[in-house]
Structure 1
Amino acid sequence: MSLNTNREQLVKTAVQGGVAPAHQWAPFEVGAAGEVFAWPSTGGITYNVKIGDSVFGWAGEHIEPGVSSTMNHKNRKCESGYQFLACCGNEVTVISGAAKGQKGTVLGHHGGVDHLMLDFPDATLDKLTCDDKFLVKGYGQGLKLVDHESVYIYNLDPDVLDGWGLKERQDGKIEVPVNVIVPGHAMGSGIGSLSVVSGDYDILCHDEATVKEHGMDKLRFGDFVAVMDHDNRYGRTYRKGAVTIGVVIHSDSPLAGHGPGMMTLMSACDGKLIPVISDGANLGVINKIGRFSDA
């Protein structure tokens, strides 16, 4: 059965940003197991980490694939509109420099640093500089399933929803393809946030037994994942029986309370959302980008 949405009522708004400077958070950092490291982290243009790659194994932490962008590097308070209006799957256009006119795709936003991650083909990345600017056609906030008012949707381009493969069952519940189902106790940094229309929260992968039991070692950038017993309708909190669906937007981290980042896409508390494991549940598969590009 097809799912009816209100896409014709959604507002499409341009927002503009530039490349976010790469960060060095400290000369050395200490991981949850006591390991000391000095690794790359957030920001900049990342050439070799892409949608579809594993979030594990990099000599880096909180790595953001593709281009990390902000609206205004000097005033973080201005970033809320840029992150809020830019939704997963939105079209991005380079509007300056040697790559002017080239198209890309929004992956998602990262809390704390207030970055928006953008995917571009390799040929475009090679032409970009850290002075370039991007125009995002922000489209998706306010999206809803008109026949399922208990399902809350955020940060999602309606074209991605259409291509995702959600199915309404005869009992009225909705099957949602995901690559990994995460237990609620494995969520960390970002819990307690009052808003899910900016930022993200982290999947904890420091306990090897939990990672193995739930197949969390399969996590890739761009994956759609389900978190059980988490309510993201009005912020991020534990609620037994709730289900939240999100998209993976940054890499693993050895820091205590941190791990692969997930941006919220939908949430329900009434058993309406039923996660179904699918290896193809990834933004890259739907939009043919990152490691799934036809190029």
Structure 2
Amino acid sequence: METNKSRLVMQSVQGKIHSPSALHLYRVNRDGVAEVLPATGGITYNVKIGDSCMQWIGDHIEPGVSIRNETKGENDALMLLSCIGNEAKVITGDAKGAKGYVTGMHGGIDHVLLYFKDEDLDKMAINDTILVKAYGQGLKIAGHEDVTCMNIDPVLFENLGIKESKEGVLEVPVVTEIPAYLMGSGIGSTTAFSGDYDIMTGDLEANKQFGIDKLRFGDLVMLRDCDNTYGRQYLKGSVSIGVVVHSDCIKSGHGPGVTVIMSSKTSKIKGVLNKDSNIANYLNIK
């Protein structure tokens, strides 16, 4: 496929490792029970891209490193311009010079999520500054003007192995398909070019039926009848492709977060089931 990759701008954005915060001591689960749990932020040492996102005793757990910028406009740019697969580099602290990748953007808390090797994580500390080479917003596929791309590094995009059928449909490898009625928190957002929205996991039967119980951080999923070309909405026949970026949640209307990378108002995208469709494999993360 031909894209406009050579015309896209690569630009620096940066943030600091953001400490976990506890504005409320308890989190109330979908059964009305208050729980004390780890949640967003910081350096999460033992939760990684490629791991199950469903097994953890926590809420909205973010794998690896979570960064943000405390100046709102600058953090908005960090969230908007960062793309999954972008190179990230530590520029202060004991891990200075270490390189990793953007693995997702988490709306609400407004964190950009990053992968780094274990030996680099051990050298990092809260408030270390990390620079991201933001590259990818504005990506377009020649001959597919009805497909909107977003939030993905062009090099990673090329590595996904997307094929074009004789009918002109883009065939994208995904681990499962999710129906629109299971998409929850984040519906109605004005743009899908920043952040994520959640697969609801309150129905255990649906979790098994659609393979949600087996999802991993970094998995590619197809969202059926989900339009993300501008904001997030239900639209019959539309298709979106996204990446799982944070863990399952205990709250009603929440679950694994999905950052969208492609969307079409028509069925010009098709999901092709492939259990290995995970960004860890495409980025050669071990």
Shorter-normalised TM-score: what interval?
over 0.9
> Which residue among 182, 186, 198 is the counterpart of 2:194?
198
Residue by residue over 1:89-136, the C-alpha shift from the partner in whole angstroms, topping out at 9 and shown as x without a partner, is 000111112111111000111111110001000010001111311111
Query: Counterpart amino acid of 1:104?
Result: G
Mapped pair 1:123 → 2:125:
no
> Which residue among 64, 85, 92 is the counterpart of 1:89?
85
Give % identity.
Answer: 47
Mapped pair 1:14 → 2:12:
yes
Counterparts of residues 242-257 of structure 1 (less than 5 Å): 242-257=238-253
> Which residue among 269, 272, 281 is the counterpart of 2:268?
272
Residue by residue over 1:182-204, the C-alpha shift from the partner in whole angstroms, topping out at 9 and shown as x without a partner, is 11100000000001111110000
Contact 1:76 1:114 in 2 (8 A): no
Query: Counterpart amino acid of 1:66?
Result: G
Distance 1:96 1:21 in 2: 16
> Which residue among 64, 67, 88 is the counterpart of 2:65?
67
2:215 maps to what in 1?
A: 219
2:107 maps to what in 1?
A: 111
Q: Please report the TM-score for the alignment, with normalisation by the length of structure 2.
A: 0.98
Mapped pair 1:240 → 2:247:
no
Contact 2:18 2:127 in 1 (8 A): no
Contact 2:10 2:135 in 1 (8 A): yes
- Paired residue secondary structure (2:127): coil
Distance 2:274 2:242 in 1: 14
Distance 1:275 1:33 in 2: 34
Contact 1:180 1:218 in 2 (8 A): no
2:49 maps to what in 1?
A: 51
- Paired residue secondary structure (1:81): helix
Query: Counterpart amino acid of 1:53?
Result: D
Distance 2:164 2:210 in 1: 25
Gap runs ≥5 in structure 2: none
Query: Counterpart amino acid of 2:10?
Result: K
Gap runs ≥5 in structure 1: none
Contact 2:225 2:234 in 1 (8 A): yes
1:5 maps to what in 2?
A: 3
1:134 maps to what in 2?
A: 130
Query: Counterpart amino acid of 1:61?
Result: D
1:155 maps to what in 2?
A: 151
Contact 1:179 1:224 in 2 (8 A): yes
Number of aligned pairs?
286
